[in-house]
Structure 1
Amino acid sequence: MPQSWSDKRERQYEHIKDGAKKRGTGDKRAKEIAARTVNKNRAQSGESRTKSRSSTNDMSPQKRGGQRSHKGPGGPTKEQLYNEAKKKNIRGRSSMSKQELQKALGR
């Protein structure tokens, strides 16, 4: 746990990590899930100096509640595909659907 976390964030980290372990997740993966969740919450509440746009614009991990989990080959979100297309400077990306973005990115 980074030292910059508050006591509240440390408790949150431990709670999420313990919950993931109870569900059968390995120790290393449970720590990763907990750290990512806490860091995303810190970014959304303005506690961190650096943050990504996808962290601040997306819904919180607690509210999402695993909506993107266990849906098979759903892959990345449209926003994630759009950001990748933006980095690769693909023209017409703003009017593309998720499927079109996947095709343009060669997925």
Structure 2
Amino acid sequence: MPAGSSSKREHQYEHIQDSAEGRGASERRAKEMAARTVNKERARSGETKSASSGSTKGKSPSQRGERSGGSRSGGSGRTREQLYEEAKKKGIEGRSTMNKDQLARALGH
């Protein structure tokens, strides 16, 4: 964390790092994700002396309704199990070996 960061940002950093590690990210990657996220939030809220225009434009992840790290997988927010059951009802072949993204594509989501 940069010097002079608030305790709120320290807590945010720790939360993001722990969450990323819990999802299987390496410690190094988790720290990078946390630092980038916190730095972007600091720039958007005017806590930094200088910030790029890309850091201050657009909606923040919290405004977009995303969790830390965001979910990039398909399926319209449905779980793999829900997609699997739908694929089973539709008789899609090979569904048992498909991951969530593959199931979503096969179902046309």
TM-score range, shorter chain: 0.5 to 0.7
Q: 2:32 aligned with 1:28, yes or no? A: no
Give the equivalent residue in structure 1 for 2:53.
53
Letter of the structure 1 residue corresponding to residue 27 of structure 2:
D
Residues 48 and 15 of structure 1, relative CA distance in 2, 3 Å threshold: same
Q: Which runs of 5+ in 2 are unaligned?
A: 75-109
Structural RMSD (CA) = 1.6
Give the equivalent residue in structure 2 for 1:16.
16
2-side partners of 1:8 and 1:63: how far apart?
18
Give the equivalent residue in structure 2 for 1:44.
44
Structure 1 runs of 4+ off > 4 angstroms?
none
TM-score by length of 1: 0.59
Residues 28 and 46 of structure 1, relative CA distance in 2, 3 Å threshold: same
Q: Deviations over 1:40-61 (max 9, x none)?
A: 1111110001111111112112
Aligned residues: 70
- Equivalent pairs: percent with the same residue? 54
2-side partners of 1:34 and 1:15: how far apart?
8
Question: What's the offset of the Cα at 1:70?
Answer: 4.5
Q: Which has the larger radius of gyration?
A: 2
SS in 1 for 2:63: helix
Give 1:62-81 correspondences, 5 Å limit. Answer: 62-64=62-64, 65=66, 66=70, 69-70=72-73
1-side partners of 2:62 and 2:21: how far apart?
17
SS in 1 for 2:32: helix
2-side partners of 1:48 and 1:29: how far apart?
23
2-side partners of 1:70 and 1:49: how far apart?
36
Using CA pairs below 8 Å that are at least 6 residues apart, which structure has the higher relative contact order? 2
